[in-house]
A and B are shown apart, each in its own frame.
Chain A
Amino acid sequence: MTIMMPAADQAVLARREAIVAALRKLVPGEGVISSSAEMLPYESDGLMAYRQPPMVVVLPDTTEQVSKVLKYCHENGIKVVPRGSGTSLSGGALPLADAVLLGLGKFKRVREIDFDNRAVVVEPGVTNLAISQAVAHAGFYYAPDPSSQIACSIGGNVAENSGGVHSLKYGMTTNNLLGCEIVLMSGEVIRVGGKTAETSGYDLMGIITGSEGLLGVITEITVRILQKPETARALMIGFAEVEQAGQCVADVISAGIIPGGMEMMDKPAIHAAEAFVHAGYPLDVEALLIIELDGPGVEVDELIKRVETIALGCGSTTCQISTSEQERLLFWSGRKAAFPAVGRISPDYLCMDGTIPRAALPLVLRRMKEMSAKYGLGVANVFHAGDGNLHPLILYDANKPGELQLAEDFGADILRLCVEVGGVLTGEHGVGIEKRDLMPEMFSEVDLNQQQRIKCAFDSQGLLNPGKVFPTLHRCAELGRVHVHGGKLAFPDLPRF
């Protein structure tokens, strides 16, 4: 453990029995879990290097229960960590020793399907994929598709603003939401949006989305659904140089083509994936692009030709075009299995998630190679090439003393590099605890203070998911203070008209 969490409040821990008893009154039946053995599954999320048993686990199944639990915790100064399916890759749902872990897993109902308004109302524990499945019979689907879509919950998607391979064309979670119900830390229930394209007043839904469980607990979500494209086909294109692949991506976009998906893998990732799933990937290339076009058949056929021509112009050495759905899925199988494939060649790996301007890709990959040599750790890269979202997988062995620390240092260096070339720390996995201490690489204290003031507007005592996202916690009263810079005219040289 190299990332420190806030010190546990001993006074709260001393009251644990009374707190558990009070929570049992609010959430009857099996909704409160307090034995160490039963709390074990909640000790970590997808960032498995970090574990922490919570003080107690509460699993409510109504908004009213959520509201009562939060109100009780608010009044008694008890911290709360919300959790969906626990698939966060950045530690967003990591428990705290002195906090209630509030699991939304029982919120599993699809409440309403409204095809005419192209909207589905769901509870937060419904999985991402289950939404698409619930509307598939009418040809609809929910567009954002994070790789964990079988398991991840829509509530977690909203909290993290999840993306996926199709986000260049179809957007992230925030671009596909219509409304939500959230419970504030005070227990107050707020509904924003609905079946309308826009909310009224400030875009509170926009700020809640991607707030990593720090602003409120989401108890209902209305998503926008789309008709499935008529068809989809993919090209699998190999290049002898990473630069050529990067140029190809830029040229496709310059030609006005926005593919449904545009993924790149580097040589180590290609080899690992091919050894795992035998997708027929070329092994003698430095970079592989999978470009998927979707839409009506006539459009897809035409765009496939255009992309093929562009790829040839960029010096592609191999180019296969899927001729059947089976073949298209085969092309994707290696990419989709890239993480487990890397898991086979290394005892452990860290998955990073920076975004860079696409033009900086060759430079970033070159520097990463140097870092790999410096740290003595391997790295494989998969890349949402269309939107510049990079996923370096750092290979390490947690059983070797010091290697986790080395891997984390390597990862931090990669993210610093992303910021240095004009990019950001995280494209879709969130800050959580993983990148928390790197936030000052991208944001000044003033920037972070403004974000924390927003937190104060939702949670004045800082009880909801503390220790995540922000490296330093400030009291709201301190953040809200306005400094008056003298009474004199401070802009004598400003032009006046």
Chain B
Amino acid sequence: MDILKVRDAQDVEQAVRAAIASEQPLEIVGHGSKRMVGQPIATNAVLDVSALNAVTSYEPNELILTVQAGAPMADVLSLIDSKNQQFSFEPMNTSQLLGTLDIGTIGGMISAGLAGPRRIQAGGARDHLLGVHAVSGFGDSYKAGGRVVKNVTGYDVCKLLAGAWGTLSVMTEVTLKVMPRAESERTLVVRGLDDIAANKAMTAALGSPFDVSGAAHLPGSALRTTQGALAEIASPDQPVTLIRLEGITASASHRAISLSVALKAFGSAEILEDAQSAALWAGVRDVTPFAASGPRAMWPVWRIVTPPASGGTLGQAIAKGSQGEVIYDWGGGLIWAALPPSADAQAVQLRKLVNAAGGHAMLIRAPESVRRAIDVFHPQPKGIAALGERVRNSFDPKNILNRGRMSRGQAT
């Protein structure tokens, strides 16, 4: 395997141009924390961007952070935390689910676009990526977007790059919007609801004026296998529903009480505060019940995005049909499903249910043989798939960058 460790954007340009000339696809890697996600890539040449790790500028008063794409997430998170700021889309730390030591780079986080529980309130990675410098599959450095929070100058290319899994361009530098951390948080814990009732409770909470920033449900079956903060609040086999409120202390407390009154019909709610609450949400964000260090390590895990109000019905059907386990985030709009191991991760049956619900499903964790056998990303209707392919071509006509990672037909 050939590994090219680039030092700057010019190196990236050179490497991509050489790859075009030799028709050699490149796998784009930061820390490699998410390498086992996606269709297996058809190449043995790696472009390592981890040396592009500088913080270019951080202006807390402008709510703006510019960093090179290979900057370690851990460093960046502690930097903005020191100014009491955060990425409000709460990016998932995939290390527990995928069983990696490292939590990855900022570029990897944007390319994966895996937003956490606060997505329902604050949006996803795509909503916080303001500008990029990148190298396209033409071998050209280009920039898009800007370094201010409000900008409509030219096409919003950042949207395409967030969640493109490195198939459109090699990002070299990104500008992100950061936001202040909330002063306080409160979590309502309601116990004993089945998936359908929990879905209704979350729908009611999200339709209330109390500005909910997290709504998750963990069925008892999923809690049985979990460790850490989520295990501590769970009694065996008893499901818990979690609803989070954040803001200044007076407001978070007030809303927690008001919301618990509004949800009285679903049962009484215990209210957890600050650190205790935060630990629970880290567990939801990182899907710890299905951690690679736990008993579900060998089970493939699906990430299903679906209309939230019917998430409970879909999740129940999936769990029942597959003998698997599910947990719900985003008020039912995000379902994590761990299914007993099989050669195709039960893709056909699962996607049939997901399609009927109006959602889409991505296989986020599975052995390479399974990822080779099925479509990791949700198959799209012909028209969208063709348009997506034309868009990919507009960045990388020779299919140099992460060839075949998002599309099974391309891996050869």
Contact = CB atoms under 8 A, between A and B. Distances in A.
Interface of A: 114-119, 139, 160-161, 163, 167-168, 171-172, 174-175, 184, 188-192, 194-207, 209-211, 227-230, 250, 253-258, 295-296, 298-299, 302-303, 355-359, 384, 387-389, 422-431, 435, 439, 442-444, 446-451, 453-458, 469, 480, 482-491, 494-497
A429 B20 CA distance: 39
Chain B interface size, as a band, is: 35 or more
Given A206-B156, A253-B63, A482 B150 contact: no
A411 to B, nearest CB: 15
B2 A496 contact: yes
Contacts of B334: 197
Interface stretch (B34-42, B207-215, B235-243, B272-280): B207-215
Contacts of B330: 197
Contact of B11 (A210, A228, A494): A494
Given A194-B358, A489-B18, A491-B18, A451 B305 contact: no
A298 B84 contact: no
Majority-rule SS of B interface residues? mixed
Given A446-B140, A485-B20, A494-B6, A200 B159 contact: no
Contacts of B305: 196-198, 200
B67 interface: no
Contacts of B59: 357, 359
Interface in B357-382: 358-360, 362, 377-378, 380-381
Contacts of A257: 180
Nearest to A425: B153
Tell me if A's interface is mostly helix, strand, loop or mixed.
loop
Would you list the 6 A-B pairs with minimal beta carbon distance, nearest first? A206-B159, A299-B251, A256-B180, A116-B309, A457-B390, A453-B394
Contacts of B387: 184, 190, 204, 457-458
Given A207-B159, A454-B157, 6 more contacts: A171-B123, A229-B209, A302-B251, A454-B160, A455-B155, A487-B22
B208 A227 contact: yes
Contacts of B181: 256
A114 B155 CA distance: 30
B395 interface: yes
Interface string B298-329: 00000001111100000000000000000000
A189 to B, nearest CB: 7
Interface stretch (B68-76, B96-104, B141-149): B141-149
A485 B17 contact: yes
A387 B149 contact: yes
Contacts of B141: 446
A430 B152 contact: yes
Interface of B: 2-7, 11, 14-15, 17-18, 20-22, 48, 59-64, 84, 113, 119-120, 123-124, 126-127, 136, 138-144, 146-160, 162-164, 168, 179-183, 203, 206-211, 247-248, 250-251, 254-255, 258, 305-309, 330, 333-334, 358-360, 362, 377-378, 380-381, 383-385, 387-388, 390-395, 397-398, 406
A389 B250 CA distance: 32
12 contacts: A139-B209, A196-B333, A196-B358, A204-B387, A229-B209, A258-B180, A295-B251, A422-B148, A425-B153, A443-B153, A451-B155, A454-B394
Given A117-B307, A456-B394, A457-B393, A355 B148 contact: yes
B352 to A, nearest CB: 16
Contact of B362 (A168, A188, A200): A200
